[in-house]
Structure 1
Amino acid sequence: IGQVEAGKVLVFPGEYSHWHNMRVIIDALVDRNHIVTVLVSSSSPTVPHTRKERFDFNVFEVNIKKEEARAMWSEFTNLWMNDTATKYERVFMFWRVMTNFILNTEDICKGVFYNKDLLRALHESHYDVLISDPMMPCSDLMAQTLNIPHVLSLRATFAYTFERLCGQMPAPASYVPAVALNDHLTDRMSFTERVKNMLLYIIHTTIFRLQMKFTYDWLYTEIW
């Protein structure tokens, strides 16, 4: 059996179920003797960064308080579980949740990239790879700044928008369902289902481009 070397892994996890998903990956890496550091904000409501673990935590400060972050994520969860709201109420709730989510995104990005001591420490640690949850902002810039490979822990967006436009992932609309929540769509679709699937791709792609233009473009320009 040939010898192998353990690596240094930087992890940028998400919250709630996304953290539990990432925790499985972290435990598997530690079991294989990799050195793992979990980068987490001071506002994280679910990542137990004060607990002693087999890996290290690197906590960076943000302006948002933990209670505010918990309320934001709770509202995000309630949006998908609210079956009594009307169509217009759901639209209003969605935009309110997304506004708060973008503010949280901005706070986390600035908490990382405006902290020169943190960036210097990350550079000097010489990590081999960054594993991040797709819900965590600016992880792509972090990987580029550290000049290391970037791995996402799970599918990022509806209609695979990030994956298609940023990662060049092939996703023909005739065979790949656009929305995971639509379990009735499979790789074998009728003509009507393919038309519906194509419309979903168009809608999600349009929303993504508008969201990038009016939110993340200026944020990335400011911090980069």
Structure 2
Amino acid sequence: MRHTCWCRMLRLLVLAVSVLFVFLCGANGGNVLVYPVDGSHWVNMKVIIEELHSRGHSITVVRASNSWHIKEESPHYASHTIEMGPFQNDVVDELASELLQARRKGRSFFKDMARGKWVSEWLSGLHRDICTMVAAIFEDESLMKTLQDAKYDLVLTDPSFGGGVFLAHRLHLPLVLNVRWTIHGEAHYAIAPSPLSYVPYPGAELTDKMTFSQRLGNFFVCIFSQYMLRQMADVPYTALSHRFFGPEVDYFSLFQDADIWLMRNDFTFEFPRPTMPNVVYMGGFQCKPARPLPVDMEEFVQSSGEHGVILMSLGTLFAELPSDISEEIAAAFAQLPQKVIWRHKGAKPSSLGNNTLLVDWMPQNDLLGHPKTKVFVAHGGTNGVQEAIYHGVPIVGLPLVFDQPDNLSRMEARGTAKVVDIATLDRAVFVEALRAVLYEPSYRENMQRLSRIHHDQPMKPLDRAIFWIEYVMRNGGAPHLRTQSFRMSWMAYHSIDVILTLLMALVLLLLIMFLAIKKCYSVLFKKKVKCE
């Protein structure tokens, strides 16, 4: 009886402490305004939002009415919905199909230029839509008053589109970026020194050890990419900036003036390069230990015996491949003793073997963390690559578009992946790649070494990200960490004016010395003539 009484008292005490903890967290929590980017970028932002909410912070999300994944109702955040036109999913599917077909035709400089032009035209339309949405927010006096009265501590946004950056400037709030890309490309190039001699430009598929011809190629890829990115972003964002902030405001300086850059990669993935004090690396922050699988999937995995399991997922855009490619992949899988779990949409391939399970969705993180998983067949998206690193699973890569070829080339350079060009893919090529990664121990050993390096850090990447968000809340920003480099002219940044001044001074000194010597010589010569 006495034991039961003590148990009840203990439970009441634990409950009281828990309620007090939640109350105190809520009382001391910050107020965060989030302007996210849809698609796979939302997967990353949602992780941070849920963690901030769990720590007692109040979150408000600004979303478009045609959002693909961002829901209006959530237990983790409130939302403001901006009315936009219907989401054109068929346009996305059409672009993905065109890019895939172009990739299958092989690569060349001119083909890459044409492919880049298609992507630029599509992204340019998305940038114009974002600018329209931002203008609608700014012109809605009631909404702007609501946002101002809410007394937010900061704006958290993904700068691959510019809406959140402009909103932060309009509300005069500190800005934290959840970033790998800005509207002008890879984020480091916006604020950090990026020497093209050893920093490979995304898309060049190079390492930090380049020959002269590779450095030349790296230079041209950078120039062409920067030109294309500016072409698609300059017009809509310049017009928006001039309309609401005046012609003296350079729109991209608003991005560069962010307080903290939470970078979605780290140096297990990135090659060594210069960085800045307000860049915080949180690569793999969305990864977590594997949870138990659903019963039916666990039974299938266990049925693989000593051979293990192969996972295949090509993300949301390319879950449905052309039928001829699907047939070749299915036929290749059928030749292996391993069991295969393949995230696949569309018609069932006729060459599908009994060892392959087709699914509409899979718990990818949990499967990658399963001890029977041997290989991950992936398209090379950042999230999937980082989950593979986290769990130490080697990759067979099928890069398709965007940053995927570059991501996989980095993994291949580290000996953790074998990349198959979809232009040359058939069952023989695919089986050869699978067997290489399955049976050559170096691939798994190299990936597990990367995994150990990733885990060997003083705090978890997500905890590091949350610390710096709360740091900005506590200190009202982080201006002492922001570089002044982007406020300098190109000549001043590279000290061209100083070098020219010193050269002119040296030339002037040499000229004075020459004239002085000439004068002395002429005087001495005249004296000598007179003496004679």
With normalisation by structure 2, the TM-score equals: 0.37
In structure 2, the CA distance between the partners of 1:102 and 1:159, relative to structure 1 (3 Å rule), is: closer
- Residue 115 of structure 1 and its aligned partner are, at CA, apart by 1.6
CA distance in 2, matches of 1:223, 1:78: 38
Equivalence for 1:109: 134
Equivalence for 1:173: 196
Give SS of 2:75's match.
coil
On the 8 A contact 2:161/2:183 being kept in 1, the answer is no
| Backbone CA RMSD of aligned residues | 2.9
Partner residue of 1:216 out of 237, 240, 256? 237
Partner residue of 1:190 out of 208, 211, 223? 211
Q: In the TM superposition, what are the counterparts of 1:95-106 in structure 2 within 5 Å?
A: 95-106=120-131
Q: In the TM superposition, what are the counterparts of 1:120-135 in structure 2 within 5 Å?
A: 120-135=145-160
Q: Which amino acid aligns with 1:42?
A: S
On the 8 A contact 1:13/1:132 being kept in 2, the answer is yes
Query: Which one has the largest radius of gyration?
Result: 2
On the 8 A contact 1:16/1:46 being kept in 2, the answer is yes
Give SS of 1:119's match.
helix
Equivalence for 1:42: 65
In structure 2, the CA distance between the partners of 1:95 and 1:7, relative to structure 1 (3 Å rule), is: closer
Q: Which amino acid aligns with 1:11?
A: V
On the 8 A contact 1:159/1:205 being kept in 2, the answer is yes
On the 8 A contact 2:29/2:57 being kept in 1, the answer is yes
Q: In the TM superposition, what are the counterparts of 1:26-175 in structure 2 within 5 Å?
A: 26-49=49-72, 51-62=73-84, 64-66=85-87, 68=88, 70-78=89-97, 80-82=99-101, 83-84=103-104, 87=111, 90=115, 93-157=118-182, 160=185, 163-165=188-190, 168-175=191-198
On the 8 A contact 1:10/1:37 being kept in 2, the answer is yes
- Residue 194 of structure 1 and its aligned partner are, at CA, apart by 1.8
Unaligned runs of 5+ in 2: 1-23, 246-532
- Residue 37 of structure 1 and its aligned partner are, at CA, apart by 1.0
On the 8 A contact 2:49/2:76 being kept in 1, the answer is no
Partner residue of 1:21 out of 44, 47, 51? 44
- Residue 106 of structure 1 and its aligned partner are, at CA, apart by 2.9
1:114-173 deviation digits (Å, cap 9, x = unpaired):
2221111111111111111123333222111111121221212488566534xx322221
In structure 2, the CA distance between the partners of 1:158 and 1:123, relative to structure 1 (3 Å rule), is: closer
On the 8 A contact 2:35/2:158 being kept in 1, the answer is yes
Q: Which amino acid aligns with 1:195?
A: L
In structure 2, the CA distance between the partners of 1:122 and 1:75, relative to structure 1 (3 Å rule), is: farther
1:44-63 deviation digits (Å, cap 9, x = unpaired):
122111x332221221223x
Q: Which runs of 4+ in 1 moved over 6 A?
A: none
On the 8 A contact 2:35/2:164 being kept in 1, the answer is yes
On the 8 A contact 1:159/1:201 being kept in 2, the answer is no
Unaligned runs of 5+ in 1: none
